[in-house]
Chain A
Amino acid sequence: MLTVTNLLKAYDGHPVLTIPDLTFPPGIHYFRGSNGSGKTTFLRVVAGLLPFSGRIQLAQTYDIRQQPVDYRLRVNYAEAEPRYPDFLTARDLATFVANAKRAPAGQVNQLADLLGVSAFWTQPTRTFSSGMLKKLSLLLAWLGHPSLVLLDEPLTTLDVETAGRLFDFIQERVRQGVSVWLTSHQDITLTGLPLTASWQVSNGTISPIDHDPAV
């Protein structure tokens, strides 16, 4: 599904993440680790938001550098703490991202209904609560035809009803072949999501958690 080779991510010359060689099979992957362990950095690197050295390849075909457009068409990302220009509405942002990600007709409305974004569709984001911002970021992360969706702390600030609908939707999309990577400080087993693998992010690297009861 996704292969990471010789990845080195450094801030101001100090390495924060070193991954010699890792292959992630399709499915739902859960990344755990303490604050500042590098979970968000890793997801942001995979999303193409942060510079790094090394190689990332999706489905043995789409290299993040060699096929940057094709790669970004297939890898979507939802931030842990989303922030948007306060004068823009959910409609402005969703329309913009949907066009860029080549979303099929009707997808935006479907996701807006699913995540409850329709209720504040034309309000500027400065009036949003953190939960509303989270819903909008989750909506943007599912636009287009992603093969891999990176959800950084999707449970934070999300209300229980919306979280339930999101988990059902994730399961449905995973059955259709989409992979989902999650980070969370909450107990992920409560979501009922069938995890493919769990990963520990610590000491500047990522390693599989064998015999994780959540899997």
Chain B
Amino acid sequence: MTRLFNRLFIQPFYEQNAGSLLVVTLLAFGFMRPMDHEALITAALGSPLLLGLVFLLWGLYTLKAITFIIARLNDPTHLFLTAFRLVSRANRWLVWSAVLIGLLLPVLGYAGWMLARAVHYDQWFALNGIIGFLIGLVVVGVSVVDYRLRHPAPDRFRLPRPAFRLPYLLFFPTYWLRHEPLSLLLTKGCSGLLLIGVCRLYPTDEYDERLLLIGLLLSVLFQASVPRQLSQFEGRYLPLLDNLPYSVNRRFGQYMVLYGLLWLPELGLLMRNRPDAVSIGYIALLWLTGWGWLGLLHAFTYGRDVDPNRWLAILFAGFILGLLTIMAGLPVVVWGLLGWGVALVYTQLRSLPLNVTS
């Protein structure tokens, strides 16, 4: 049973969140040294406020994991899971606990580090607090998902449906908002916060534009799961798209307009937080570059089953390569041309779904 649940929940969760987890890992362990973490952990162990902030982050992550499980339970393809109700409560709780622990591994890993330091510094109050909070997270998580399993009522709360005729361009954004709202919030929220943070990092006269490019790279990586989500959505609910008489270029154009729409909030944030020393033209170029790179991610992943480990490795390699070339001074224009150009050429080569072969 645990193997089945692993394939149903744990594997897809990490697969879907590979990009954002990578960015968090890069931020946490790329920019911060181990000694910075040691200092942070020591401070958190001695300060209830800081420890509370750490708990808040862990709670948000757990919320994301719980909503992922609930979304899966509500999915018609997972209706067979209602049979799981027939299993005894004790066994259900055991399986759900294994699932929750599997999903909370990043939190548990960091908590383990904190616990080791708590023992080292004799911080027993903090140690008990951390253990209690972690147990609480798992218990609350298991209670919520088990309750949902026993009370399948997906119609209880729904966002109102727009009264107007929904154009194709809004199919996926609406799906994202209605079915995976937390994913939307976290993806766009973290991407936006990253860009704001980079813009405000050194708002001096001699602003290093390479910082903005690094911020853009991280922001795009944060959205690396979006093309995969789009692909899964259309593959599952709109297979008829492949039967529509659209040319390769028209399909590419439609998807680029969609990504432009999804990427539009970042333009507003960049413009609003633009450092004084950076021109509006550069910001526009930066945004266009991010747009092109989203298109490139789409061209590479749409309609493909990519192994999550391989995908993570590709993103990581892409980040390192990107970082090196940015630090070497590769200008944003070249980045933009690369993103748009490769996306366009690769789309022509793949020609989905028109030139498909087995």
Contact = CB atoms under 8 A, between A and B. Distances in A.
Interface of A: 8-10, 47-53, 65, 68-73, 75-77, 79, 83-85, 87-89, 91-92, 95-97, 100-102, 124, 126, 140
B174 interface: yes
Given A69-B245, A87-B174, A88-B166, A97 B240 contact: yes
Nearest to B353: A48
A49 B243 contact: yes
Contacts of A79: 239-240
B91 interface: no
B7 to A, nearest CB: 16
Contacts, number: 84
A87 B175 contact: yes
8 contacts: A51-B353, A52-B357, A75-B243, A79-B239, A89-B166, A101-B244, A101-B245, A140-B240
B353 A49 contact: yes
A95 B244 CA distance: 13
Given A49-B243, A50-B358, A51-B353, 10 more contacts: A10-B358, A47-B243, A69-B246, A73-B245, A79-B240, A85-B174, A87-B174, A89-B166, A92-B166, A140-B240
Interface of B: 76, 155, 161, 165-168, 171, 174-175, 178, 233, 236-240, 242-247, 353-358
B243 A48 contact: yes
Given A87-B174, A92-B165, A70 B245 contact: yes
Given A92-B165, A92-B166, A124-B161, A85 B357 contact: no
A100 B354 contact: no
B250 to A, nearest CB: 8
Contacts of B356: 48, 50-52
A97 B354 contact: no
Contacts of A91: 165
Contact of A88 (B171, B243, B246): B171
Contacts of B245: 68-73, 100-102
Contacts of B355: 65, 68
B242 A85 contact: no
A137 to B, nearest CB: 8
Give the interface centre of B161, B243, B355 by most chain A CB atoms within 10 Å.
Answer: B243
A8 B356 CA distance: 12
